[in-house]
């Protein structure tokens, strides 16, 4: 039989108790909210970090709002910061510029942030783009495993 505790040296609180008896499963009791809820805190931190950044399609700057509901899909809503974003977006669509390449890079950044910082493997990143007045510009679905837009 092996038993033990992890104690906070500053407060002398017992954070974790564990025991192992032969071939039985390891038993672990967490006595601290920070340990039990760390996954949701990680997700909140990832979302906050992503929402603090700016994203660009060519020279059009976007701010983002992230929605994640504990599944394998994230929905990101991008709103343009630039004036005349709708005209700029239309110019990009009419030119040979590859909007999808920028969108793939943005989606990959989002998927990597969830994987690296919250240990969450996403299957899909759904993105919607709007101009500064809230008018729709485009929507895309990114398959994380295939690393490409559907």
- The DSSP code sequence of 60-116 is EEEEEEEEE-SSSEEEEEEEE-STTHHHHHHHHHHSS--HHHHHHHHHHHHHHHHHH
Strands 14-20 and 148-149: what pairing? unpaired
Whole-number pLDDT of residue 11: 78
Which one-letter DSSP state was computed for residue 123? S
What is the rounded distance in angstroms from the CA atom of residue 93 to the CA atom of residue 89?
6
pLDDT tens for each residue of the chain, 150 residues long:
899 988 888 877 888 888 888 888 888 877 655 544 445 568 999 999 999 999 999 999 999 999 998 889 999 999 999 999 999 999 999 999 999 999 999 999 999 999 988 889 999 999 999 999 999 999 999 999 999 999
Whole-number pLDDT of residue 37: 47
Q: What is the pTM of this model?
A: 0.74
Q: Are the C-beta atoms of residues 123 and 145 closer than 8 Å to each other?
A: yes
């Amino acid at each position: 039989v092996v038993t033990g505790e992890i104690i906070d040296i500053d407060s002398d609180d017992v954070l974790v108790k564990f025991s192992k008896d032969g071939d039985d499963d390891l038993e672990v009791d967490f006595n601290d909210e920070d340990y039990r809820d760390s996954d949701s805190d990680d997700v909140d931190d990832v979302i906050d970090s992503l929402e603090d950044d700016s994203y660009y399609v060519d020279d059009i700057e976007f701010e983002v709002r992230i929605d994640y509901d504990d599944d394998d899909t994230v929905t990101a809503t991008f709103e343009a910061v630039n004036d005349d974003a709708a005209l700029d977006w239309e110019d990009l669509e009419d030119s040979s510029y590859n909007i999808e390449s920028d969108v793939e890079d943005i989606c990959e950044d989002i998927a990597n942030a969830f994987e690296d910082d919250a240990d969450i493997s996403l299957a899909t990143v759904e993105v919607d783009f709007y101009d500064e007045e809230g008018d729709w510009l485009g929507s895309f679905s990114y398959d994380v495993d295939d690393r490409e837009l559907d």
